[in-house]
Structure 1
Amino acid sequence: MSYACQRELFDLPDGLTYFNTASQSPCLNTSFSAGERGLRRKLHPWSADRAALPGEMERCRDLFGGLLGATADDVAIVFATSYGIASAAANLPLSPGQDVLMLEAQFPSNVYAWQRLADQSGGGIRYVPRGADFDWTGPVLEALDDGVGIVALPNCHWCDGALVDLEPISAECVRRGIPLVVDATQSIGVKPLNLETVPADFIVASGYKWLLCPDMMGFMYVAPKHQTGMPLELNHAARIDAPSMETGSGLGGRLKPNARRFDMGAADSMVHMPMCVSALEQITEWTPEAIHGYLSGLVDVIAQKAEERGFICPPKARRIGHFIGLYRDQAWPADLEAQLAARNVHIAFRNGALRISPYLFNDEADVDRLFSALDAELD
């Protein structure tokens, strides 16, 4: 299924071109309305609507799990990518002398917890440099050997969208018995990712980018074999068989026998939950396949116009499809992001790349507006 531009479902002013979903997505109009309903529950916490929260949490688990081919039992609700990665690192062993394998210049949320684990265990970190022509997959496969104890990767580089093909990588991890942890923040919900072809141990994603969710919300898939692990927090909601708080202390019980034991404390946010449900339902209705197909067409046009101007970017076979980073032989002007914003064109710079990340509210007229602004500023 394919879609036309869905700008009317967002509150973007006329004349504004927003190409920065990889930093922060605007929420859907329906999610904003759901958040207002949540705020009314906070304003009036005696409201009967508060009783909807447990069902909203389960709906979020089910929807996020559905994007991967997992069940609600496999999904924890977490604050952010860093929280989920820390949970994974706390539940995976690393033997002395073994390395955690990751990309060079990988996003910090999927780095620091592994550095600490390596320091504590007597292991190391193996950073894989990018290969020629924006190739990450080949170098990662070449680096996978018996000295690797954990593989922690995204499925694209956060700066420029250069692809990390997790299917052959995960197959090699399975063959060698190496756990795979995926930071899917820059891909889940907009690029198909299925556990049948990428059988990861943990998959973590912050929600405020491509999942269209509010800040401080994210999700973590936990493979069944890790669902008896130890969570970062020990809170009442993560337990079953605990005494009632209405008639007793609430202390006791056992940790839940599934991924729910890894939930962050206060996961039952009256404001955030209905917003997440609205966003994930819309993404599920659109489907990641259709979203990626639409955005890939826009990114192809962006790449063509960039190459016509002598800019450098990942080639089509080596990029994820839904966003792209542009480079040039000389550094970009230091104030270019601000100058483009003054023209109502919003992008981001990441590690030297001019990162352009569209969504379904963009069309080719936005691409033309972007390059007209670039031409004017770089003339």
Structure 2
Amino acid sequence: MPITCKRDLFDLPTGLTYFNTASQSPCLMASFSAGERGLMRKRQPWIAERAALPAEMERCRELFGGLLGATADDVAIVFSTSYGIASAAANLTLAPGQDVLVLEAQFPSNVYAWQRLAERSGGGIRYVPRGADFDWTGAVLEALDDGVGIVALPNCHWCDGALVDLEPIATECVRRGIPLVVDATQSLGVKPLNLETVPADFIVASGYKWLLCPDMMGFMYVSPKHQSGMPLELNHASRIDAPSMETGSGLGGRLKPNARRFDMGAADSMIHMPMCVSALEQITEWTPEAIHGYLVKLVDVIAEKAEERGFTCPPIARRIGHFIGLYRDEAWPKDLAARLAAHGVYVAFRNGALRISPYLFNDAADVDRLFVALDAELR
């Protein structure tokens, strides 16, 4: 079913155009209300509703897993993308002389842990430069050879939305027996991603962007073959058969036999959990397919208007579809973001690109408002 504009479900003032979801999404008003209920639990931790936390955690695992075709057993609750990537790096091996393959100018959270692993293992980092006409996929496939020990990629480049088609890359990784780690922060929840076609070893996503979740919340898919690995943290909640803390020290037991062992400490946030449940339930109801279908139409119009003005951007076949980065021959004015904000238009600049990232609270009038403001400031 086609989806319509959902601005009424968010708290956006009239006349404000927010095109910066790739940096930080506003939360749903329903999630804000859920957070208020969570705050009440923190304010009064003796109330009975605190007992709802374990079920909320399981519901989050179920919903996140459902976006991928995974089960709740396959999902860990983590702080951030960097936490999940560090967990993956701690549970994969790199032989001396092998490389971790990443994109040139890839988001740092999916680079630093691999640099550390390479340094410790006597390996290296292979930075894949972008191919002609924003072709990342072809460039990655060309770079994949027997010298690659791990592939760690996003679904698109975070600066401009240029597509990294993970399906043929995953196929080649399986053929060569190379682990695939995916940073899906800029795509999951808004672009379909399924384990049947992208059988990754780990998939990590921070929640505060396209998943509409609060800060300091993220999720990690762990393939069953890695679920006996070692988590970054060791705590009581990551164990089964541990003695009760009510009658003893709590020390003992075994690590949980699934992805739950990789949970961050204090994953059972009284405030964050109900907000995440509300957000993930809404995304599941809308479906990533429908969300993406709505946003592609806006982004296509943005690209058309940009090209009319002589700007360049990833072409339609080479962009992920739900956000886009614009370039021009000369550098953008350094204060342009602030000047656009004075018009009530909010965007971001990333690595030389004017990044425009809409969501379901945007419509065609917002696109017009963006270019009226741009024209006024660049005149």
TM over 0.5: yes
Aligned pairs for 1:350-365 (under 5 A) are 350-365=350-365
- 1:114 lines up with 2:137 in the alignment: no
Q: CA deviation at 1:367?
A: 0.1
In structure 2, what is the Cα distance between the partners aligned to 1:68 and 1:4? 24
Q: Which residue of 2 aligns with 1:82?
A: 82
Q: Which runs of 5+ in 2 are unaligned?
A: none
Q: CA deviation at 1:142?
A: 0.4
Paired residue type of 1:164? V
Q: Deviations over 1:161-216 (max 9, x none)?
A: 00000000000000000000000000000000000000000000000000000000
In structure 2, what is the Cα distance between the partners aligned to 1:96 and 1:315? 39
In structure 1, what is the Cα distance between the partners aligned to 2:135 and 2:249? 56
Paired residue type of 1:343? H
Q: CA deviation at 1:19?
A: 0.1
In structure 2, what is the Cα distance between the partners aligned to 1:334 and 1:124? 35
Q: Deviations over 1:315-354 (max 9, x none)?
A: 0000000000000000000100000011110000000000
Paired residue type of 1:17? T
Q: Which residue of 1 aligns with 2:165?
A: 165
Q: CA deviation at 1:4?
A: 1.0
Aligned pairs for 1:177-326 (under 5 A) are 177-326=177-326
Aligned residues: 379
Q: Which residue of 1 aligns with 2:15?
A: 15
In structure 2, what is the Cα distance between the partners aligned to 1:144 and 1:312? 29
Q: Deviations over 1:34-67 (max 9, x none)?
A: 0000000000000000000000000000000000
Q: Which residue of 1 aligns with 2:342?
A: 342
SS state of the match for residue 102, structure 2?
strand
In structure 2, what is the Cα distance between the partners aligned to 1:47 and 1:96? 55
Paired residue type of 1:253? G
Aligned pairs for 1:36-55 (under 5 A) are 36-55=36-55
In structure 1, what is the Cα distance between the partners aligned to 2:211 and 2:376? 33
SS state of the match for residue 96, structure 2?
coil
In structure 2, what is the Cα distance between the partners aligned to 1:268 and 1:142? 43
In structure 2, what is the Cα distance between the partners aligned to 1:186 and 1:63? 18
Aligned pairs for 1:97-112 (under 5 A) are 97-112=97-112
Q: Which residue of 1 aligns with 2:128?
A: 128
Q: 4+ runs of 1 displaced by more than 2 Å?
A: none
Q: CA deviation at 1:20?
A: 0.1
Paired residue type of 2:93? P
Q: TM-score, normalised by structure 2?
A: 1.00
Q: Which residue of 2 aligns with 1:94?
A: 94
SS state of the match for residue 25, structure 2?
coil
SS state of the match for residue 291, structure 1?
helix
Q: Which residue of 2 aligns with 1:61?
A: 61
Q: Which residue of 1 aligns with 2:141?
A: 141
In structure 1, what is the Cα distance between the partners aligned to 2:160 and 2:187? 13
In structure 2, what is the Cα distance between the partners aligned to 1:90 and 1:367? 44
SS state of the match for residue 127, structure 1?
strand
In structure 2, what is the Cα distance between the partners aligned to 1:359 and 1:47? 37
In structure 1, what is the Cα distance between the partners aligned to 2:66 and 2:58? 12
Q: TM-score, normalised by structure 1?
A: 1.00
Paired residue type of 1:63? L
In structure 2, what is the Cα distance between the partners aligned to 1:323 and 1:72? 29
Paired residue type of 2:232? L
SS state of the match for residue 370, structure 2?
helix
In structure 2, what is the Cα distance between the partners aligned to 1:80 and 1:87? 11
Q: Which residue of 2 aligns with 1:156?
A: 156
